[in-house]
Amino acid sequence: MTTGRFISLEGGEGAGKSTQAKRLAEALGARGIETLVTREPGGSEGAEAIRALLMQGDVKRWSPHSEALLFAAARADHVEKLIRPAVGAGTWVICDRFIDSSRAYQGVAGGIDDAAVLALHAFGSRGLLPDRTFVLEVPPEQGRARAEVRDGVGADRFAARGDAFHADVAAAFRRFAEHEPERVRLIDASGAPETVTEALLADLGDLLP
Model confidence pTM above 0.95: no
Q: How many residues does the chain have?
A: 209
- So what's the pLDDT on residue 139? 84
Residue 208 included in any domain? no
Closest CA to 41 of 93, 85, 81, 99: 99
3-state DSSP percent of the chain in helix, strand and coil, to 5: 55, 15, 35
What CA–CA distance (Å, rounded) separates 71 from 98?
Answer: 9
Residue 53 included in any domain? yes
| Averaged confidence pLDDT in the chain | 91
Sign of CA dihedral 43, 49, 54, 55: positive
- So what's the pLDDT on residue 44? 98
What CA–CA distance (Å, rounded) separates 117 from 104?
Answer: 10
- So what's the pLDDT on residue 171? 95
Residue 114 included in any domain? yes
Bond from prior residue into 139 cis (ω within 30 degrees of 0): no
Residue 41 included in any domain? yes
Q: What is the DSSP letter of 16?
A: -
Q: Output the domain CATH number for residue 148.
A: 3.40.50.300
pLDDT in tens, 164-192: 888 999 999 999 999 999 999 999 999 99
What's the number of domains the chain is made of?
1
Task: Answer whether 176's CB lies under 8 Å from 104's CB.
Answer: yes
Query: Which residues does 20 contact at the CB level (< 8 Å), separation at least 6?
Result: 9, 134, 136, 189, 193, 196, 197, 200
What CA–CA distance (Å, rounded) separates 19 from 135?
Answer: 14
- So what's the pLDDT on residue 158? 64
What CA–CA distance (Å, rounded) separates 79 from 53?
Answer: 19
What CA–CA distance (Å, rounded) separates 69 from 169?
Answer: 19
3-class secondary structure, 6: strand
- State the residue range of the domain holding 136: 5-203
Going residue by residue through the chain (209 aa), what tens digit of pLDDT does each one get?
A: 568 999 999 998 888 999 999 999 999 999 999 999 999 999 999 999 999 898 887 878 889 999 999 999 999 999 999 999 999 999 999 999 999 999 999 999 999 999 999 999 999 999 999 999 999 999 877 766 666 666 554 555 566 667 888 899 999 999 999 999 999 999 999 999 999 999 999 999 999 98
- So what's the pLDDT on residue 104? 96
Strand partners, 37: 94
- So what's the pLDDT on residue 118? 98
Residue 209 included in any domain? no
Residue 35 included in any domain? yes
